[in-house]
Chain A
Amino acid sequence: MAMATTGRQKTGWGTANTVVVVLALIPVLWMVSLSFKTPAAVLDPSFLPAGRQWTWGNYTGILHTSQFIRPLINSIGIGLISTLIAVVLASMAAYAVARLRFPGKAVLIGMALLIAMFPAISLVTPMFNIERSLGLFNTWPGLIIPYVAFGLPLGIYTLSAFFREIPWELEKAAKIDGATPFQAFVKVIAPLAAPGMVTTSILVFLACWNEFLFAISFTSTLASRTAPASLAYFSGSSQFTVPTGPIAAAAVVITIPIIIFVVFFQRRIVAGLTSGAVKG
C-alpha cells in the first residue's frame, strides 16, 4: 500500500483514479442529461442539451402521474417491509451461526449459499401459478415473500461475519449476571450488532429496490408494480411526447436513493459486500 511513493507513480495512480471515476459516472451523467432534455433536444445526440433546450418538464411530468408515483410508493413500501423482515430473520439465524453450536448449521449455510446462487427465473413459473391460486398475485405480499427469501442468504452471510467481530465477553458477562441466552441476545448483542445490521439493511434494501424479474412477473397493475417495472410500462406524461425524457427522469429519480446510500455509507457497503461474499 505504501508503494505509491514517487511523484511519477502518484500521477499514474491519480490518472487511473480519474479514469475509473469518469468511466463509472459517464453513463449516469448521460441519463441525467437526457432527463433534462426537451423532446426536441432528445433527437439531438449531443451529450448535453444544447442552449436553452433543457427543461424540468420531464420531472414535473412524471411526478404528476400516478403511473410513476404509485410504483415509487410500492417500491419504498415493499423494499422497507422486505428488508425489515429479512434482516430480523437473518440476524436471528446469523446469531445462531456465529455463536451457537447445533447440528444442521452446515445445512443452513449450504442452503443459504444455494439460494444466493438460485436462478430466479426458475421460480417465476411455479410462483406465478402458486400466487394466482393463493390470491397473492399483484399484491405487496406477493413480492415481499420472494424478496425476503432472496434477502435472507445475503443477510445471513453478512451478519454472521459482522457478529463474529462483536466482543462476546459481554454476552458471557450478561449470562453470569443471570440473563438467558435470549436476553443476552436482545439486550447486549443486538445494540452492538446495530452497525452490521444497518449495513445489511442497506444491502438488502438495494437488492429489493433493484429487483425486476419478480416485479414484472407477479404484478399487473399500479397496485403493486414497483418503480423499475413501471419504467417498462411508461407511456410518457402526455400522449404526444416520446417517453425517452420521462423514462430518463424516472430512472434518475430511482437512482437518487442509491447515490445517497453510496455517498453516506460507502465504507459500510464495501465492508458488507466483501464480508458477505468472500470467505477465502
Chain B
Amino acid sequence: MSLSAQVAAGTEAVKEEQEGRKRQLSEGARAERRLGWMLCAPAVIVMIAVTAYPVGYAIYLSLERYNLELPQDIKFVGLGNYAAVLSSPYWWQALKVTVVITIFSVAITLVLGMILAQVMHRTLFGRGTVRTAALIPYGIVTVAAAYGWQYAWTPNEGYLSALFNNSAPLTSEYKAIAVIILAEVWKTTPFMGLLLLAGLSLVPEDLQKAAMVDGATAWQRFTKITLPLMKPAILVALLFRTLDSFRIFDSIFILTGGTNNTGSVSILGYDNLFNALNLGIGSAISILIFICVAIIAFLFIRGFGTAAPGSDLGR
C-alpha cells in the first residue's frame, strides 16, 4: 500500500468525520461507541496485562533488595538499587556500548537504506528480485544470522577472518563492536530501505522533472526536493530503527556474550537477572532502560511535530 493511498484514505476519513458529527448522540452513535470499545477491549487488556502491569511490578521490585539466592533478606531499600546501578562502571560501560552501536548502526543504515531505496525506486528491471533479496536479511532469524557472522569471523574457520589476515575481531572490544554494528547494518538496512522507498514514492515525479529542466544537478534535486519531502518518512524510520537498535540483545548474546566490554544495556539486565539472580538490581536496570527509551521516543516525537506516527489514525 502506498502512502498516496493512505493520504486518499485520510481525506475520506475527514469526510466521514463530518458525516459523523451530524449523527452525534443518536442511538446509532452510542451503539457504535459501545462496539468500538468492545472490539478494542481484548487487545487493550492483553497489552496492559503484559506491559503496564509488569512495568509497575518492576518499579516495585526495583525498590527492594531481592536476590533469588537470599529469600530471607528481601527488604525495601528505596532507591538503593538505582544508586548501585548508576554508580557502577558496568552500567555506564554498557550504556556507552549501546549508544555507540545505536548511533553508528542507525547512521550507516540510514545512508545505505537511502541508497537502497533509490536503487529499488529507480530500477525497472529485476525489481522483484532485488526486493525479495533485500527482504531476506530483514526476515532472517537474528540469532541464525549472528552465528553466521560469528563463524565468519572465527580465525581458521571463517572466510572473513581469512580475508583479514586470520584476525579474531570478536576477542577485542572495539573490533567486536564493529562486527556487531556490521551484523546490525546488514540485517536492518533492507527495512530502512523499504520505509524510505515508501517515502520516496511521495516525491512527485513532475517536481523532479521540472527541477531537471531548470538545470538542477542530481545532488541538488536530492537535497532540495527529495529530502525535505521525505522528512516525515525519514523521521519515522529513524525512530523505529533507533529504538530497535537501543534494545540490541540477540546478536551480542551470540557474537560475544557481552565479554570484553561489549555488552549492551539489555545484556547487562539479562546477566544481572539470570546470572546474578538479583531481581532488585535487574529491575532497576529494566526501569532505567525504559526511561532511556522514553527519552529517545520523546525527543523524536517532538521532532515530528504533527507528523507523529499514528496521529492520523487517532483522529
Contact = CB atoms under 8 A, between A and B. Distances in A.
A212 B195 contact: no
Given A244-B151, A279-B313, A24 B6 contact: no
Given A149-B47, A231-B143, A16 B119 contact: yes
Given A17-B119, A20-B119, A160-B313, A122 B286 contact: yes
B195 A273 contact: yes
Given A14-B123, A277-B309, A209 B141 contact: yes
Contact of B37 (A20, A104, A258): A104
Contacts of A96: 35-37, 39-40
A92 B39 contact: yes
A247 B139 CA distance: 19
A16 B129 CA distance: 12
A187 to B, nearest CB: 15
A112 to B, nearest CB: 7
Interface in A103-160: 103-106, 108-130, 145-146, 148-150, 152-153, 156-157, 160
Contacts, number: 370
Given A17-B126, A231-B144, A258-B136, A152 B47 contact: yes
Contacts of A212: 141-143, 249-250, 253
Interface string B28-50: 01011101110110111011111
Nearest to A21: B133
Looking at chain A, what size class is its interface with the partner chain?
35 or more
A274 B195 contact: yes
A121 B43 contact: no
Contacts of A125: 58, 61, 269, 273, 279, 282-283, 285-286
A156 to B, nearest CB: 7
A113 B309 contact: yes
A100 interface: yes
B243 interface: yes
Contacts of B253: 212, 216, 232
A149 B198 CA distance: 27
A280 B286 contact: no
Interface stretch (B103-111, B168-176, B232-240): B232-240
Contact of A31 (B47, B58, B147, B232): B147
A262 B310 contact: no
A164 B12 contact: yes
B64 to A, nearest CB: 11
Contact of A122 (B58, B157, B307): B58
B131 interface: yes
Main secondary structure of the interface of B (DSSP, over half): helix
A62 interface: no
Given A115-B47, A121-B247, A4 B124 contact: yes
B306 to A, nearest CB: 11
Contacts of B266: 119-121, 213
Contacts of B308: 279
B246 A45 contact: no
A277 B240 contact: yes
Nearest to B163: A45
Contacts of B55: 122-123, 126
Contacts of A112: 47, 310
A56 interface: no
Interface string B250-266: 10011000000000011
A206 B139 contact: yes
Complex A-B, nearest 10 residue pairs according to Cβ-Cβ distance, in ascending order:
A102-B36, A280-B232, A149-B50, A251-B144, A106-B314, A45-B162, A274-B198, A164-B9, A126-B54, A100-B36
Interface of B: 1-3, 5-6, 9, 12-13, 17, 20, 29, 31-33, 35-37, 39-40, 42-44, 46-51, 54-55, 57-58, 61, 115-116, 119, 121-126, 128-145, 147-149, 151-152, 156-159, 161-162, 166, 186, 190-191, 194-195, 197-199, 202, 205, 208, 232-233, 236-237, 239-240, 243, 246-247, 249-250, 253-254, 265-266, 269-270, 273-274, 279, 282-283, 285-287, 289-290, 292-293, 297, 307-315
14 contacts: A13-B122, A16-B115, A95-B39, A101-B17, A102-B32, A108-B43, A120-B247, A125-B282, A127-B50, A149-B49, A164-B6, A165-B5, A209-B141, A258-B140
